[in-house]
């Protein structure tokens, strides 16, 4: 056990923040700390680091704060660098060799440092040529990255991080995920990035109501277990309340009857001895389970672009694509690649520079971005919403707003005083109440905490219209999008991927490892496929439209069969060469000399062919599992 807190409490200014909580770290555990803003996550970190005094319960002999004897902790400081003239390399070397001593320039410690430093420095997006620059030449955000690099190189037994993914781009976050997974010590990290938590954590600690609850697994496992726990607690509480109500009815019924008075008193005794269960706290997120249906379905093809050139002062990209009714497509890519310009062009807020853009008939389009949420109204939340929809009763208004996490006092707040995330939720509630059939969203979850994001995810999953949205939140993309448009400056054009982000990320790992072909294809090719799917049966002989998943399986088979054909031909040629019978003694001698490398080459080619066949069989099994699931459930066909 590296660290253990039993029955501890923390107060600030006489106000209790955490009360009688337990927390511990074992071995090399990777722990994520989650909770609403203000719940006490940073307070917990300060107590672990010894920055805040921990109150132990003197009445409880087991209450204590205990650390292992040989134990080092490291914390990412947000303060300015101590020596701005020190170069990055000097700073990192000083941190890395702090425990081992400076050593000789060519000793093993220095060699290990060079490898680890180069990997970390480039992993966070710095070119190696910047290693000789002074720390003062970097921005504040870059200095924070360098401090994190120094901390990782120092490698304390326990690494404590507060929102480590802030100000990191996607590639840096992915690098950090892998590094923390393989970190030789324990890690405690506070984070709102749910996908990041899923990738590195094997324990989640939730701070809520002054307590710390521990769950095994990453974020997804934690949410599933918490949902089940809340359901069990609610059921037990309701059963106990029903039993109490039944007992009280019996007491009232028989209290004044001489022959039954003893029975009534026994029921009263039973109630007094009963351990009353507390009423379960409701889940912070509101999970919508009812379908959100647009006022009218709209055209089958919501939007169509052909050679659409979009941008601001200059062209950013050319785009050809067809968006089908009911699709939910997420757009991802680095900043500055044109994602916002594309959605603003399709929404009609930015004129196309060239090419064609058509919006389908009866398409009711609604656009939401950060500018949409800049409301300065002096009205209260409830009046602002009610004035927009005067036909609704006040009860209906309260019910609708509660579905977007506005409760009690929240409804009396002035709209202009709301936070950015609260304004975004209010705007979304107003938009969806008009029942559009096409939503275009630009970073809808910015400035939102986890419960708000989960609420929006459930809303968009239940929405039966079409969604085109930009997001950097990988978990949100995985939960909402059924396909992706990928802006990659290293690849030509805009790519289309026929599945969610989790599938895309797992596939990319296999692609980079050479274990699978890439399923991404150009948006223009996807538009062609969609056009072919839409041709009437009498013109194509097609019996039905191909669902998106079936289309993906066909595409994977097509890519793999090309490789399989080449591997089979290569293996066959190897066999033909080895089976050729030499006609002379000189040829025999030469053949024997070449036989060993030829046999080795044949084995390699056979293995490549076998791997391709196994990959083909894996895809076949996936497709059959999908078809079986589809046959067993009523899946909606678009």
Over residues 525-545, the mean pLDDT reads 51
At a CB cut-off of 8 Å and minimum separation 6, what does 377 contact?
384, 414, 415, 416
At a CB cut-off of 8 Å and minimum separation 6, what does 239 contact?
none
At a CB cut-off of 8 Å and minimum separation 6, what does 494 contact?
317, 319, 321, 485, 486, 487, 522, 523
Task: Report the Cα–Cα distance between both ends of the chain, in Å, rounded.
Answer: 55
| Dist CA 634 CA 612 (whole Å) | 34
At a CB cut-off of 8 Å and minimum separation 6, what does 309 contact?
315, 317, 318, 319, 352, 353, 354, 355
For the ranges 37-41, 329-333, 475-479, the lowest mean pLDDT is seen at 37-41
| Dist CA 297 CA 128 (whole Å) | 54
Place of tokens 């067993």: 632
| Dist CA 348 CA 357 (whole Å) | 10
Maximum average pLDDT range among 103-117, 189-203, 363-377, 616-630: 189-203
Which pLDDT tens digit goes with each residue over 489-504? 877 788 888 888 988 8
Confidence of residue 437 (pLDDT cuts 50, 70, 90): very high
> What are the start-end ranges of the E strands in 510-608?
521-522
| Dist CA 500 CA 224 (whole Å) | 20
Asked if 439 contacts 366 with a C-beta cutoff of 8 angstroms, the reply is yes
Ramachandran bin of 555, using left for φ above 0, alpha for ψ from -120 to 50, beta for the remaining angles: alpha
Stretch (H or E) spanning 331: strand 328-332
pLDDT computed for residue 634 by the predictor: 39
| Dist CA 3 CA 361 (whole Å) | 64
Stretch (H or E) spanning 495: strand 494-497
At a CB cut-off of 8 Å and minimum separation 6, what does 453 contact?
194, 445, 473, 475, 476
Long-range contacts: 233-237, Cβ < 8 Å, 24+?
233/277, 233/280, 234/280, 236/277, 237/277, 237/278, 237/279, 237/280
pLDDT computed for residue 493 by the predictor: 82
| Dist CA 466 CA 441 (whole Å) | 11
Closest CA to 37 of 221, 230, 284: 284
> 322: helix, coil or strand?
strand
Over residues 55-81, the mean pLDDT reads 79
Mean pLDDT over the full length of the chain: 83
Closest CA to 159 of 181, 174, 135, 143: 181
Place of tokens 């040529």: 129
Stretch (H or E) spanning 182: none
| Dist CA 448 CA 173 (whole Å) | 19
pLDDT computed for residue 456 by the predictor: 94
For the ranges 337-351, 429-443, 526-540, the lowest mean pLDDT is seen at 526-540
Closest CA to 223 of 215, 232, 234: 215
Closest CA to 554 of 471, 463, 626, 636: 626
pLDDT computed for residue 177 by the predictor: 92
pTM to 2 decimals? 0.75
Confidence of residue 637 (pLDDT cuts 50, 70, 90): very low
Confidence of residue 632 (pLDDT cuts 50, 70, 90): low
pLDDT computed for residue 538 by the predictor: 44
At a CB cut-off of 8 Å and minimum separation 6, what does 139 contact?
none
| Dist CA 439 CA 7 (whole Å) | 49
| Dist CA 637 CA 630 (whole Å) | 10
Which pLDDT tens digit goes with each residue over 520-533? 666 666 666 666 55
Confidence of residue 508 (pLDDT cuts 50, 70, 90): confident
Over residues 138-156, the mean pLDDT reads 87
pLDDT computed for residue 25 by the predictor: 93
| Dist CA 65 CA 48 (whole Å) | 9
pLDDT computed for residue 385 by the predictor: 95
User: Is residue 406's pLDDT more than 90?
Assistant: yes
**Angle separating helix axes 548-579 and 585-632, nearest 10 degrees:** 160
User: Is residue 566's pLDDT more than 60?
Assistant: yes
Confidence of residue 580 (pLDDT cuts 50, 70, 90): low
For the ranges 159-173, 380-394, 454-468, the lowest mean pLDDT is seen at 159-173
pLDDT computed for residue 93 by the predictor: 85
Place of tokens 């955490």: 18
Residue 288 structure tokens: 């919508």
> What are the start-end ranges of the E strands in 44-85?
55-56, 64-67, 73-75
Strands 30-34 and 203-208, sheet pairing = parallel
DSSP state of 359: E
**Angle separating helix axes 108-123 and 170-181, nearest 10 degrees:** 140
| Dist CA 45 CA 212 (whole Å) | 12
């Amino acid at each position: 056990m590296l660290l253990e807190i039993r029955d501890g409490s923390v107060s600030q200014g006489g106000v209790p923040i955490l009360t009688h909580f337990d927390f511990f770290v074992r071995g090399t555990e990777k722990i994520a700390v989650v909770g609403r803003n203000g719940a006490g996550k940073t307070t917990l970190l300060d107590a672990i680091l010894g920055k805040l005094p921990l109150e132990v319960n003197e009445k409880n002999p087991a209450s204590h704060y205990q650390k292992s004897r040989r134990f080092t902790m490291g914390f990412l400081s947000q303060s300015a660098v101590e020596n701005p003239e020190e170069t990055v390399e000097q700073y990192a070397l000083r941190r890395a060799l702090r425990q081992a001593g400076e050593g000789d320039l060519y000793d093993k410690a220095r060699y290990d440092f060079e490898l680890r430093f180069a990997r970390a420095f480039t992993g966070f997006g710095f070119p190696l040529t910047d290693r000789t620059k002074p720390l003062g030449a970097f921005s504040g955000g870059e200095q924070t990255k360098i401090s994190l690099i120094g901390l990782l190189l120092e490698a304390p037994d326990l690494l404590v991080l507060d929102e480590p993914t802030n100000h990191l781009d996607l590639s840096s976050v992915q690098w950090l995920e892998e590094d923390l997974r393989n970190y030789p010590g324990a890690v405690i990290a506070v984070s709102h990035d749910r996908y990041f938590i899923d990738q590195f954590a094997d324990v989640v600690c939730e701070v809520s109501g002054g307590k710390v609850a521990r769950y095994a697994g990453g974020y997804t496992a934690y949410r599933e277990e918490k949902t089940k726990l809340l359901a069990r607690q609610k059921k037990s509480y309701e059963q106990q309340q029903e039993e109490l109500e039944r007992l009280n009815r019996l007491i009232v019924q028989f209290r004044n009857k001489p022959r039954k008075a003893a029975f009534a008193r026994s029921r009263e005794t039973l109630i007094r001895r009963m351990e009353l269960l507390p009423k379960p706290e409701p889940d912070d997120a509101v999970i919508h389970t009812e379908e959100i249906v647009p006022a009218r379905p709209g055209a089958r093809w919501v939007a169509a672009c052909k050679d659409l050139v979009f941008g601001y002062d200059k062209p950013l990209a050319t785009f050809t694509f067809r968006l089908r009714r009911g699709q939910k497509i997420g757009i991802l890519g680095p900043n500055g690649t044109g994602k916002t310009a594309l959605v603003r062009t399709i929404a009609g807020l930015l004129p196309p520079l060239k090419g064609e853009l058509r919006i389908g008939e009866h398409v009711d389009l609604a656009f939401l971005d950060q500018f949409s949420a800049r409301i300065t109204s002096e009205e209260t939340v409830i009046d602002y919403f009610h004035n927009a929809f005067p036909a609704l009763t006040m009860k209906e208004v309260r019910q609708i707003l509660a579905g977007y996490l506005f409760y009690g006092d929240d409804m009396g707040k002035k709209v202009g005083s709301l936070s950015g995330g609260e304004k975004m939720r209010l705007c979304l509630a107003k938009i969806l109440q008009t029942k559009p059939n096409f939503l275009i969203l630009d970073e809808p979850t910015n400035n939102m905490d986890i419960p708000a994001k989960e609420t929006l995810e459930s809303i968009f999953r239940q929405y039966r219209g079409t969604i085109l949205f930009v997001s950097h939140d990988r978990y949100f993309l995985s939960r909402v999008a059924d396909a992706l448009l990928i802006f990659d400056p290293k690849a030509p054009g805009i790519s289309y991927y026929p599945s969610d982000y989790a599938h895309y990320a797992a596939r990319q790992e296999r692609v980079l490892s050479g274990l699978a072909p890439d399923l991404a294809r150009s948006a223009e090719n996807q538009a062609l496929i969609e056009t072919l799917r839409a041709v009437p049966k009498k013109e194509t002989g097609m019996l039905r439209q191909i669902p998106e998943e079936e289309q993906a399986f066909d595409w994977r088979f097509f890519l793999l069969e090309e490789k399989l054909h080449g591997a089979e031909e290569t293996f066959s040629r190897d066999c033909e060469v080895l089976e050729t019978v030499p006609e002379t003694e000189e040829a025999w001698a030469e053949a024997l000399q070449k036989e060993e490398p030829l046999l080795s080459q044949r084995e390699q080619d056979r293995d490549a062919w076998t791997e391709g066949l196994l990959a083909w069989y894996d895809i076949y099994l996936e497709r059959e599992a999908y078809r079986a699931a589809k046959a067993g459930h009523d899946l909606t066909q678009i």
